[in-house]
Amino acid sequence: QSALTQPASVSGSPGQSISISCTGASSDVGGYNHVSWYQQYPGKAPKFMIYDVNKRPSGVSDRFSGSKSGNTASLTISGLQAEDEADYYCSSYTTSSTWVFGGGTKLTVL
């Protein structure tokens, strides 16, 4: 049950687009479309942003989008805003009927 691999940090300027990758294996990310993304501010509970790879719940800005290719999923944030500065985590269902999270990515808006 190793954590999915995410970059430790990414950064971008307001208005730019960034992508955060989430790499797993055929036993998790590559094998299922149950990939989700969560945003977390310091000291707060996570908030879900994307589910089933690319579905966005109501209330989440359409600046957030998800995709997947093979064993790697990605979260893209377009039109970066200061309020997007947070930690982001991916998660996937696995063949062991368990879940696994990524190590997390700290997004800095310059």
Instruction: Report the interface residues with other proteins, using CB under 8 A.
Output: 1, 3, 32-36, 38, 40, 44-48, 51-52, 57, 87, 89, 91-93, 96-104
C-alpha distances in angstroms, 20 versus 67, 78, 95, 108? Answer: 10, 12, 24, 12
Number of helices followed by number of strands (H, E) in the chain: 0, 9
* Smallest gap from residue 55 Cβ to other proteins (A): 9
* Smallest gap from residue 97 Cβ to other proteins (A): 5
Of the two residues 48 and 64, which places its CB atom closer to other proteins in the complex?
A: 48
Of the two residues 1 and 13, which places its CB atom closer to other proteins in the complex?
A: 1
Strands 9-12 and 72-77: unpaired
